[in-house]
Structure 1
């Protein structure tokens, strides 16, 4: 977001209040002549007072009085706040996934029979006592393996919540989905540090937590890594992942790693075992557990329709249907698909239609979305449903296909821009902002003193804005802006002073000293607001896609409103404060230009452009974030920090297959 999140919450609020007061003082300066006060003197005093106010709050100017590297006290404070945020995040996710009610399956594991363990055989355990089972492991190092859908991620999440509840030894369990880690190009500790900063940007708050907080939390073993999904790393990189895990997490440090059975065995055969780690394997559900889960989660009528299936499971405990329903994921899918009465679970007994496990899984995944999105279709307005079941299926299939093309299991909203060709995205974004700027300037000039210059002025402003938009959208600029700013540009005062002075001098030369003071003050206020609002000072708040987007939007609208006030005030100075038409026109023109200037380098703008383009093509709904949240609430997606994931790779892969088929059909047409 440009600046480090280096201001505390109190300082952040003080900056916002000070900016509001400065804007009000500037507006008051337009009318002080009625009381015999020189407006130039008033405005100059307001500018000076605002700059002195920023100087007292600027953390960069007072950096020598601040701590350097995070101290133990800093790390204790950060760890405590991080634990609160993580506990809130995973508790909410647990409730959303339906893992907090009486229908929760009690998952069981035993020591694996594969020759992959580097410790004595572990004792059997259950998910309802996962913390105690983990604590009994020698060195608290465990690898949890199992078949796809057997509940590995669920156990990892329950363990994370349980350890956060205890918080006994000062180590904070952090669940890291491994799907975004490339072990061939990044060390595990560096990757975990980057993920902490991405999901919890308030860790960069040097005023509260010192410098390099996340780095030191990792380096000093204050973070207990819960690494979920070794199998989500591409096959040719898994062995390297195991090697780097062994180097980054020594045998004396606690560790939980999850993986599919075959994938883990293959990686260990090439890279060696995890030192000191016991390897346990999740066991399949038996027919009594299957029947108990269905009866607990369904009403009496629905449960009665399952009775022939229960009898079949008892008679053929090793059959294709028993093998499929012994997996928690497919059992959940079946309970959803056949929970409304629209289809009969006895259809699964048809060996002709469903000869093997793969056929049953395809049927269940294909039936999931129509059921989940049609369940409350009759009450769409009250329930907040945004799309029809067919539209939801097409949108999710498109997203699944995009994730497959990138080789990813996580959808970050700011990555939607990658679904649009870069040149097209840049042209669309630059054209939109250029046209908006051209219209705002030309409209204002049409009613100003030089209406003949309106077309040329508007065209020039639009071209400048479009050119700047193209510049900030290039890969090199994004790479530069992604790095922390250093030196003067980390200063709240100096960055505001430079911008305000530069623009104020131009306007002062064109329209007089008063106009220059108003515009300069307005730009300084906008810069200070952007600095403050782009900072994330609340580490205790749970990370979410909505929260990360809200920071970008706050910067946009704050900058837009400030420049609207600036142009309105400048119009009042040029044309008189009682020319309400021109003041209003200046306000609207400033709102347009403020929006264009604010959004250029923000992820939210490029997400919005990509979303609009894909919505126009019928790929995604217009209210994409609301749709994704709705899909998360219905159980199709799950949330991991600031990103979304499909509930399971089986669902994502099946939808991606359907997206490929749909794309092929479009090409044929």
Structure 2
């Protein structure tokens, strides 16, 4: 169901609820008259409505406060980027950064820069540039471009003033050059950092966002992108994104070869400072290894350290980037969980003849080494299964690079977003999602059909007139009947709606103070209406039920209305720290809570009416049937994402784990994946490419060779 359709149904429900509430209040007033002034009651009602409208307007004004929104966004960006920095640097020695040399190359205007510098000097130099500040971080694969971008974001946030722009890192592969940059940034702020759409649009319109586009080299499958490449189109879209009369400030990371090709075709932004990331020198590699390895046993790494300082040795180039150096340390610092002895000897690295052999060797052992370090007791899937499952995902991402748009959307070549992974199985998840929608709507439709048959069977004509009870039952069936028709249409909508509007914005989680207040207000109003309607029904028909029964079910009705409204509102963002599982989890939880509260509450109120109007229908049976109808209604109109994700899991049996989110988060905890917003990404593109090329884990022959050197310590 689209957002517009849901909004229409919500407004219709509010209007019907107001009519029922007014009718219940008038009925109680006429049946139990008292010293109540109707004029005063009317003024009180109008005052309450005006107070609610004033509160809502105050909330809208607060959401458009640029400085407050900027502070909120900066705090959330800082929290997430700190977590990603720690994850990329690894658990042991996580504070140790290989501070390689950086070479500044201004490319236009009166820009000037020192010839080289360190990490701290890069941040200071960027902060000292005149507007627009434009950086391109270039380097070879594994040189630490993403780490530098994160460090730059953290240092800019550390000294940020209230009016400064907020640096926001975004994956280049998630940028659609055909979508305006302003729209793309607003969606990214909503989906990744949980900002309300009005708040995100306000920040973008006020030009308070500094885009940090990470991984421009990953948007094309060629090593020499030209003027017509997608990377060039992304750069042109950013070039057209203006801040007032000036070009926008931005930071871009890209591999050296790809950026040189774009420069040759004049497809790069103007007035930028290019920062080339240098290689790891032997002395810095030596210091890094000594800093992160066991100081009580320095001789273990002595052969490798000697090889790094030897002219012409293959390791000087093979371990010449921070990624490869970190990879080697991760593999050869693995210990046996029982004895504490090292599983491998670094001396093996000195026996390879070329860089590709070192690369294949380290990547083949990276997964078992990281899993052993994260879970020494061996809990979770084995290294072989982990390798096979990650290889399926890596192959899917590789296939997305250069792939034509899938149902009108360009698929990412790096991002693993849980609710957007279903194209891996083709259109089968859409079919399964439609079948799930059909299965959830049938119970509700069956209840309406049964009530309609019972009501029609009791229609009797006496003296040319229909009995009042039968007419009342048929009139009461009008609204559930219309809803039942809508439920039957839901499977067709589930199939027709290829991309849910909610997958761009996520779902609102009741974490912020304003959201909690809004949920409380919605719940209180709905609970009062439910209690009043239930009490009116009890008093009208004179049932033997005590008054606390309608109060309880009215409260359930209110909780369900508030939860369902918050959970199905696509206007909010899901921000739960560094946990991309929050969107699917929030969808499922909000649907279950709404179904288990709204269903019984709605069923009680509606069931009593039918029990009194239809002969032979007890209150318990009517309330139970109506509760089933309410739960079916909530489950059928739940957001598309959970149904599509369930269809994806069912369609990939045998290829991926059933609890895919839990598996991916375990891989994140083990250092195999990283998190960017609401997406998982492979720790490094080299690891992703390796898994795509090697769907099966390496055989034990390599380990047999290694075991010959493991007799030490």
Normalising TM by the smaller chain, what interval?
0.7 to 0.9
Contact 1:555/1:598 (<8 A) preserved: no
1:146 corresponds in structure 2 to 139
The yes-or-no answer on 1:369 pairing with 2:371 is no
CA displacement at 1:239 relative to structure 2: 2.8
Q: CA–CA distance in 2 between the matches of 1:415 and 1:279?
A: 34
Q: CA–CA distance in 1 between the matches of 2:193 and 2:2?
A: 16
2:37 corresponds in structure 1 to none
Q: CA–CA distance in 1 between the matches of 2:281 and 2:239?
A: 36
TM-score by length of 2: 0.69
CA displacement at 1:420 relative to structure 2: 2.4
Q: CA–CA distance in 2 between the matches of 1:373 and 1:53?
A: 62
1:45 corresponds in structure 2 to none
CA gap of 1:119–1:471, structure 2 versus 1, over 3 A, is same
**How far does the alpha carbon of each residue in 1:349-398 deviate from its partner, in whole angstroms, 9 at most, with x for none?**
223xxx32222212211211122223455525xxxx43222222121111
User: Aligned ranges for residues 242-391 of structure 1 at < 5 Å?
Assistant: 242-248=235-241, 254-271=249-266, 274-300=269-295, 303-316=298-311, 318-340=312-334, 341-351=342-352, 355-375=353-373, 377=375, 379-380=377-378, 385-391=379-385
Q: CA–CA distance in 2 between the matches of 1:411 and 1:57?
A: 45
CA displacement at 1:558 relative to structure 2: 3.1
The yes-or-no answer on 1:228 pairing with 2:211 is no
1:10 corresponds in structure 2 to none
> Tell me, what secondary structure is at the counterpart of 2:317?
helix
1:7 corresponds in structure 2 to none
User: Aligned ranges for residues 87-106 of structure 1 at < 5 Å?
Assistant: 87-98=78-89, 101=93, 103-106=95-98
1:627 corresponds in structure 2 to 663
Contact 1:420/1:610 (<8 A) preserved: yes
> Tell me, what secondary structure is at the counterpart of 1:173?
strand
Q: CA–CA distance in 2 between the matches of 1:117 and 1:99?
A: 40
> Tell me, what secondary structure is at the counterpart of 1:400?
helix
CA displacement at 1:231 relative to structure 2: 1.2
Contact 2:610/2:622 (<8 A) preserved: no
**Structure (1 or 2) with the greater helix fraction:** 1
Contact 1:394/1:659 (<8 A) preserved: yes
The yes-or-no answer on 1:565 pairing with 2:569 is no
> Tell me, what secondary structure is at the counterpart of 1:379?
coil
CA gap of 1:230–1:464, structure 2 versus 1, over 3 A, is closer
User: Aligned ranges for residues 415-434 of structure 1 at < 5 Å?
Assistant: 415-422=420-427, 424-434=428-438
2:419 corresponds in structure 1 to 414
**How far does the alpha carbon of each residue in 1:83-118 deviate from its partner, in whole angstroms, 9 at most, with x for none?**
111111112222233369565223233336797998
Contact 2:432/2:644 (<8 A) preserved: no
1:655 corresponds in structure 2 to 691
Q: CA–CA distance in 1 between the matches of 2:623 and 2:318?
A: 67
Contact 2:107/2:272 (<8 A) preserved: no
Greater displacement, 329-338 / 91-100? 91-100
| Structure 2: unaligned runs, 5 residues or longer | 5-13, 33-41, 335-341, 402-412, 458-481, 507-520, 699-713
| Structure 1: unaligned runs, 5 residues or longer | 5-18, 39-47, 205-210, 454-459, 485-491, 663-669
2:628 corresponds in structure 1 to 589
CA gap of 1:359–1:282, structure 2 versus 1, over 3 A, is same
2:709 corresponds in structure 1 to none
The yes-or-no answer on 1:530 pairing with 2:592 is no
CA displacement at 1:325 relative to structure 2: 0.6
1:208 corresponds in structure 2 to none
**How far does the alpha carbon of each residue in 1:405-455 deviate from its partner, in whole angstroms, 9 at most, with x for none?**
222111111112222232x3233223334334446776999999969x9xx
2:590 corresponds in structure 1 to 555
CA gap of 1:390–1:448, structure 2 versus 1, over 3 A, is farther
**How far does the alpha carbon of each residue in 1:537-570 deviate from its partner, in whole angstroms, 9 at most, with x for none?**
7899646413333442343123212113323554
CA gap of 1:395–1:134, structure 2 versus 1, over 3 A, is same
**How far does the alpha carbon of each residue in 1:144-202 deviate from its partner, in whole angstroms, 9 at most, with x for none?**
1111110111011111111111113522111122121233x234344323322332343
The yes-or-no answer on 1:403 pairing with 2:439 is no
Greater displacement, 75-84 / 246-255? 246-255
1:175 corresponds in structure 2 to 169
Query: Which is bigger in relative contact order (C-alpha 8 A, separation at least 6)?
Result: 1
Greater displacement, 553-562 / 429-438? 429-438
Match of 1:470 among 492, 504, 518: 492
CA gap of 1:275–1:428, structure 2 versus 1, over 3 A, is closer
> Tell me, what secondary structure is at the counterpart of 1:644?
strand
1:77 corresponds in structure 2 to 68
CA gap of 1:574–1:113, structure 2 versus 1, over 3 A, is closer
Q: CA–CA distance in 2 between the matches of 1:449 and 1:53?
A: 45
> Tell me, what secondary structure is at the counterpart of 2:265?
helix
Contact 1:146/1:281 (<8 A) preserved: yes
Q: CA–CA distance in 1 between the matches of 2:148 and 2:286?
A: 21
CA displacement at 1:330 relative to structure 2: 0.9
Q: Report the number of matched residues.
A: 583
Q: CA–CA distance in 2 between the matches of 1:313 and 1:651?
A: 23
